[in-house]
């Protein structure tokens, strides 16, 4: 899910981005795959990345353990020789002992297993041999799963090439909105599929031109997917990269559909919160602060939104009626799992890698197992992650609070 992270968190926002798949990040937009009751901290950042093989080869993966023996794996004494460090394009992985991972014995690692099983749907060669064992352990206890991890995997502290091991954690989410199949009443703000001529002009028309130029409007005629009631909601959806929209079908049934990232107009992302701060129009770049300014200045809404020239185009993903929607697909191509998926710079950490994450902030702290499954244009560097908080307002509030120190340990087959 290609998504855009919350840049204004740098000025104290109150929650997601990727989200951020795609939700390709995507990169969620994702997370990376939705918005109401969130903080405008969620209106300020972006996500993307590339992969590279490590310079130092890892050891071959072990062959799968026979099924009867998996539950009998006993904790290993942490005395085996450590392997060499691994060097990647944007990071250096330093081998450590399992005892160096903070909170390892307290996390409910079984809650991360569904995300791990998703990554095993698209395993890399490094993980293909272990995925059958991971599937076999799906219903095992967290203690058994931990013992297996200690036996089969080697933890590595993720650092920059300059040996800095502390970075930044932000968050993203999937907004939940209400929409209409056609323009009616308050529902006048369209979400578009990509125009046929998108590839013929790079960059394509910017946000203001799309709203005002006849040529741009003509190119998008017939590409309307859904209509929202609030242009700010549409902006948030563009930033997150994907969203869940509750629509009423022609037969009267209500159902959720996902607006999933598919392309952009190739214009740069610019923060509307940053624009307001630079002009001293606000001092609080959180959602309440920005919303309060909008309420006082309704005639300037377009002026504000046009400061961000970037527009996202979507595709519709139908969801089964009455079901709980799965997470949006991240850049790895698998659905994200709320609070157990992260977006990373894949030049530092490959997709599908289980990662031990430690982050402590004024309101929220984490010591937990997560899976690297998404990316985003703002998620760049060795120790950098965007935490997929899930869907809806509460997830938005959590993601909006996240701008805090981060440490990462990659877990890799021995």
Helix (H), strand (E) at residue 208: helix 207-212
Three-class DSSP category at 43 = helix
C-alpha 369/C-alpha 341 separation (Å) is 9
| Whether this model's pTM surpasses 0.85 | no
Confidence (pLDDT) at 287: 65
Confidence (pLDDT) at 393: 87
Average pLDDT on 150-171 reads 97
Check whether the bond before 145 is cis (ω within 30° of 0): no
Helices (H), ranges, 259-336: 272-278, 287-296, 301-305
Confidence (pLDDT) at 377: 80
Residue 141 has pLDDT above 50, yes or no: yes
Residue 245 forms beta bridges with which residues? 177, 257
What is the rounded end-to-end Cα distance, in angstroms, of the chain?
A: 30
Average pLDDT on 138-143 reads 97
Higher pLDDT among residues 255 and 204, named by residue: 204
Q: Is CATH 1.10.357.10 the right assignment for the domain spanning 1-414? A: no
Greatest pairwise CA separation for the chain in angstroms: 70
Strands 341-344 and 365-374: parallel
In order of 90, 92, 158, 235, the CA distances from 162 in angstroms are: 11, 9, 11, 38
The domain spans of the chain are 1-414
CB atoms within 10 A of CB 103: 14
Confidence (pLDDT) at 52: 37
C-alpha 131/C-alpha 116 separation (Å) is 9
Radius of gyration of the chain (CA): 22
C-alpha 224/C-alpha 247 separation (Å) is 14
pLDDT digits (tens, 9 = 90+) for 312-364: 999 998 787 666 678 999 999 999 999 999 999 999 999 999 999 999 998 89
Average pLDDT on 268-289 reads 87
Check whether the bond before 59 is cis (ω within 30° of 0): no
Task: Please give the distance of CA 55 from its chain centroid, rounded to a whole number.
Answer: 27
Average pLDDT on 152-181 reads 96
């Amino acid at each position: 899910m290609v998504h855009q992270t919350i840049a204004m968190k740098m000025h104290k926002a109150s929650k997601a981005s990727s989200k951020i798949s795609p939700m390709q990040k995507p990169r969620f937009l994702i997370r990376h795959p939705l918005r109401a009751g969130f903080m405008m901290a969620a209106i300020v950042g972006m996500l993307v990345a590339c992969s590279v093989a490590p310079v130092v080869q890892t050891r071959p993966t072990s062959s799968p353990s026979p099924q009867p023996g998996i539950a009998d794996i006993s904790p290993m004494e942490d005395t085996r020789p450590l392997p060499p460090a691994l060097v990647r394009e944007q990071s250096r992985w330093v081998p450590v002992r399992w005892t160096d991972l903070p909170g390892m014995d307290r996390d409910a690692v079984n809650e991360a297993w569904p995300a791990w099983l998703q990554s095993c749907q698209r395993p890399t060669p490094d993980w293909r041999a272990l995925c059958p064992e991971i599937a076999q352990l799906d219903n095992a206890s967290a203690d058994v799963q931990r013992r297996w991890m200690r036996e089969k995997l080697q933890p590595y502290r993720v650092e920059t090439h300059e040996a800095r091991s502390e970075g930044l954690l932000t968050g993203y989410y999937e907004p939940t909105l209400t929409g209409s199949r056609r323009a009616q009443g308050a529902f006048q703000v369209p979400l578009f599929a990509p125009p046929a001529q998108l590839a013929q002009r790079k960059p394509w028309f910017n946000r203001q031109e799309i709203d005002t130029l006849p040529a741009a409007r003509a190119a998008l005629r017939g590409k309307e997917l859904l209509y929202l009631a609030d242009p700010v909601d549409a902006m948030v959806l563009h930033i997150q990269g994907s969203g869940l929209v509750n629509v009423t079908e022609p037969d009267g049934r209500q159902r959720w559909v996902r607006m999933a990232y598919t392309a952009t107009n190739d214009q740069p992302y610019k923060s509307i919160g940053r624009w307001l701060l630079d002009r001293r129009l606000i001092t609080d770049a959180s959602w309440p602060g920005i919303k309060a300014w909008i309420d006082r200045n309704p005639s300037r809404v377009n002026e504000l939104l046009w400061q961000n020239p970037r527009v996202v185009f979507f595709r519709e993903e139908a969801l089964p009626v009455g079901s709980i929607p799965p997470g949006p697909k991240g850049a790895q191509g698998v659905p994200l799992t709320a609070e157990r998926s992260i977006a990373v710079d894949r030049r530092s950490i490959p997709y599908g890698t289980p990662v031990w994450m430690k982050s402590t902030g004024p309101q929220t702290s984490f010591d937990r197992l997560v899976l690297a499954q998404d990316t985003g244009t703002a998620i760049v560097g060795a120790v950098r992650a965007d935490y997929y908080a899930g869907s809806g307002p509460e997830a938005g509030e959590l993601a909006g609070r996240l701008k805090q120190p981060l440490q990462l340990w990659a877990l890799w087959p021995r």
